[in-house]
Chains A and B, each alone.
Chain A
Amino acid sequence: MAPMPTANCQPPTVIPYSMSILSIKVENLSKLYQLGQVGTGTLSKDLQRWWAATRGKEDPFAKLGQENRRDIKQESDFVWALQQIDFEVQQGEVLGIIGRNGAGKSTLLKILSKITAPTTGKVFINGRIASLLEVGTGFHPEMTGRENIFLNGALLGMSKADILARFDEIVDFAGVAAYIDTPVKRYSSGMYVRLAFAVAAYLHSEILVVDEVLAVGDSIFQKKCIDRMLSIVNQGRTVLFVSHNLSSIRALCRRGILLENGKMVMDNEISKVLDYYASQNIFFDTEIDLLPVVRERFFGSIRFARIRFAHNPFQFGQDIAFEVDLVKDNDCHQYDDVDLGFAINDLNGNRLLHVSNRFIHKPISFSHPRKTVRVKLQNNLKGGVYALELFLRVNDVIHDWLKEHIYLEILEGNPYGYGQSDLIYGQFIGSFEMEETGHEG
């Protein structure tokens, strides 16, 4: 288990902000997107479409079977990405923005960052706003670390003098002093990300808008990032923070707003918002239908259909047992040597363990339309909530990958006989050898 940085997990107790001055005021903000494209994107296709229409033929570029897609109704071509959002952020406040994928978090940040304009409503801003929707925007691999600091800083709205004044701090924070005049294409990915974050972390702005950036880097660097964010907060700067990483939101924010389908459904203390969000979105079902889950990228001809846990929650130390049903599309293909993998992550997204049928030399072949695989795994997890990631691959081609849809809970236990299992750090090993080999005196 990743030991939580306990000192930094608590919301900062003293926030020096004045109660009356606002940094941001969002009024009746809405954003309408048009689904699909008005044109086809190329002149030749638009001309072909026009030619077909004048002869009374079918539109040659209309997508077949579009009407029975997924479960959303396609009555109109317009979708409200945000609808009538109102909130205020006080100076020095750190606001967490929470919501599932597609809830409107990114759209909100894009409007606040002036990347896209709202359809209705206004946002009043008091102070310079700097937004960080991606680390390393504009970095060029051929340029040195030094040049990229200046370039990236300039992109984020800093003047050359601003950057010069903070240059040493940035290099120091990123820990790349020795390579500062080396082109960043020679950097390791860790160094690259550290440098990119460092520029943004030392931005001189009264308001900072941050999206997901803490999801990068190793856990030590993530902790450093959180510490840095905390010190930004303690300087009295206003921060708007969007992340899937619920525990970093809990650590950084005092207040949160929850978005659902473009609407703001909650604006409250962060713990209340997070509890509500978890109760709405994390289900400890013993059986989950996986076919309706919308896959983001991978959708091959074989995929996960259903998972059944023997229990959920599991007792402390009780073997984690489950069955997964796999389905295959109606092709005559036979798949030999399927790599069926799964991983268990904590809620910070840290990978705790990774298992594959290949590790134990159990080949799985797939010729029938349906198949069930049973898994039993020794439970080394301490009490808590975990995400189970499922993974299906054949010949290095990913067919299915479910990342954040299945959760399981391990109850606390009493392994010492007198103490709670929450005293355990790392993994709990319930079976190993130990014997007394002699004594003196």
Chain B
Amino acid sequence: MTAQSAHTPAGQTWTEVIEPRRSIWNLRLLEVWNYRDLLMMWVKRDFAATYKQTILGPLWFFLQPLLTTIMFTIVFGNFAGLSTDGLPQILFYLSGVTIWNYFADGLTKISTVFKDNANLFGKVYFPRLIIPLSIVISGLIRFGIQFLMFMAFLLFFVAKGHPAVHPGLMILVTPLLLVLMAGFSLGFGMIISALTSKYRDLVFLLAFGVQLFMYATPVIYPLSSLAPQYKPYVMANPIAPIVETFRYAYLGTGFFNWGSLGYSFTCMAVVLVAGMLIFNRVEKTFLDTV
């Protein structure tokens, strides 16, 4: 079969051909760009839904990390007596929670994209990648709000002249850290979304998995507190350098080197591409199995 059949009139052109299978390498990123208005509208929709449908509304954005931080301070800081590298406990946990949440929230939401949008996907065509992207972007707004709260605490301790707290110039790499976290939550989220589209009960395991992942990342403990034989294992986790760098930049204590960040970046690129390929594959067959 060719695009120009024998009896097709001269001058006939086709702008598009629908075929059984597209190459999985064809991610159609140009199309995603053409739908950028939809991306922004979807972020807005996500925000309207979160703001207007809960009683506490935007207050929840502050409360959630604050309560987690208080809980961590009591349980890990006081009862368990874990080290915080000499940093004020509130600041130590809040910094970890703020950067970690951006990753974990995005991951959790992206993981159920197919389940949550089955009806929409059955009614209208658009590049499905828009939805995970919109989750990452609206997560950024949420991160911004939580980051402001973190900054308020940070300024308080700086003003008080706490000896261990001294933010450095490395805060300039914050955008890079966010890109890394966004890439990881997109990549891992899309891989898991492919699994949850087939096995819906994996969603229950997910919350547990994210929790475990957090313990494998230096969120509630500093890397420096680990025994030397465990350090390589934790540093093999590509999220670990991101959290440590974030702390190093804003609090002045923590682990940082460009090599580790480069490692994170490479891992992120691999996970992201794998996620997009898998997502692209599932997107096409998903509606025929549900």
User: Could you tell me which A residues sit within 8 Å of B by CB distance?
Assistant: 20-22, 25, 27-28, 33-34, 37-39, 41-44, 46, 110-129, 131, 133-134, 137-138, 140, 142-143, 147, 150-151, 154-160, 183
Contacts and interface: CB of A to CB of B under 8 A. Distances in A.
A21 B31 CA distance: 26
Contacts of B17: 122-125
Contacts of A21: 9, 11-12
Given A137-B120, A137-B123, A147 B44 contact: yes
B30 to A, nearest CB: 14
B137 to A, nearest CB: 15
Contact of B42 (A121, A134, A151): A151
Given A28-B1, A113-B124, A113-B125, A123 B18 contact: yes
Given A111-B18, A133-B123, 6 more contacts: A22-B8, A38-B289, A42-B199, A43-B201, A124-B3, A125-B14
Interface stretch (B45-53, B76-84, B92-100, B170-178): B45-53
B197 to A, nearest CB: 10
A159 B122 CA distance: 22
A20 B9 contact: yes
Interface centre among A37, A117, A126, A128 (most CB of B within 10 A): A117
Contact of A142 (B11, B52, B121): B52
Contacts of B22: 117
A115 B289 contact: no
Contacts of B287: 110, 115-116
Contacts, number: 133
B201 A42 contact: yes
A143 B45 CA distance: 7
Nearest to B7: A88
A138 B15 contact: no
10 closest pairs, A vs B, by CB? A154-B38, A43-B199, A123-B18, A114-B125, A42-B201, A20-B9, A142-B52, A125-B16, A124-B14, A151-B41
Contact of A138 (B45, B125, B284, B289): B45
Contacts of B52: 142, 183
Q: Which of A38, A39, A134, A140 has the most CB of B within 10 A?
A: A140
Nearest to B45: A140
20 contacts: A20-B11, A20-B12, A34-B288, A42-B200, A42-B201, A112-B18, A113-B124, A114-B125, A115-B122, A118-B19, A121-B20, A122-B1, A122-B19, A129-B16, A131-B124, A138-B120, A140-B45, A151-B38, A157-B126, A159-B37
Nearest to A33: B288
Nearest to A118: B20
Given A44-B201, A137-B123, A140-B45, A37 B15 contact: no
B124 A155 contact: yes
Contact of B124 (A22, A27, A137, A143): A137
Contact of B121 (A39, A115, A158): A115
A143 B12 CA distance: 43
A166 B5 CA distance: 38
B221 to A, nearest CB: 32
A137 B38 CA distance: 13
Contacts of A44: 201
B202 interface: yes
B16 A117 contact: no
Interface of B: 1, 3, 5, 8-9, 11-22, 35, 37-38, 41-42, 44-45, 48-49, 52-53, 120-126, 198-202, 284, 287-289
A27 B1 contact: yes
A169 to B, nearest CB: 19
B172 to A, nearest CB: 33
Given A22-B12, A123-B18, A142 B38 contact: no
B41 A154 contact: yes
Contacts of A119: 20
A420 to B, nearest CB: 45
Contacts of A20: 9, 11-12
B38 A46 contact: no
B131 to A, nearest CB: 11
Given A20-B11, A115-B122, A155 B38 contact: yes
B284 A25 contact: no
B48 to A, nearest CB: 5
A156 B126 CA distance: 8
A94 B119 CA distance: 28
Contacts of A113: 124-125
A142 B199 contact: no
A151 B284 contact: no
Contacts of B53: 142
Given A123-B18, A157-B35, A151 B44 contact: yes
Nearest to B117: A138
A138 B124 contact: yes
Contacts of A151: 38, 41-42, 44-45
A143 B14 contact: no
B120 A142 contact: no
Contact of B48 (A111, A138, A147): A147
A41 B200 contact: yes
Contact of B126 (A120, A134, A155): A155
Given A114-B125, A131-B124, A125 B15 contact: yes
B49 A140 contact: yes
Contacts of A154: 35, 37-38, 41-42
Interface centre among A34, A41, A156 (most CB of B within 10 A): A41
Contacts of B199: 39, 41-43, 46
A157 B37 CA distance: 9
Contact of A25 (B8, B48, B123, B289): B8
A118 B19 CA distance: 7
A166 to B, nearest CB: 14
Contacts of A123: 17-18
A150 B49 CA distance: 16
Contacts of A155: 38, 41, 124, 126
Given A125-B15, A160-B37, A142 B49 contact: yes
A39 B202 CA distance: 14
A123 B200 CA distance: 34
Contacts of B49: 140, 142
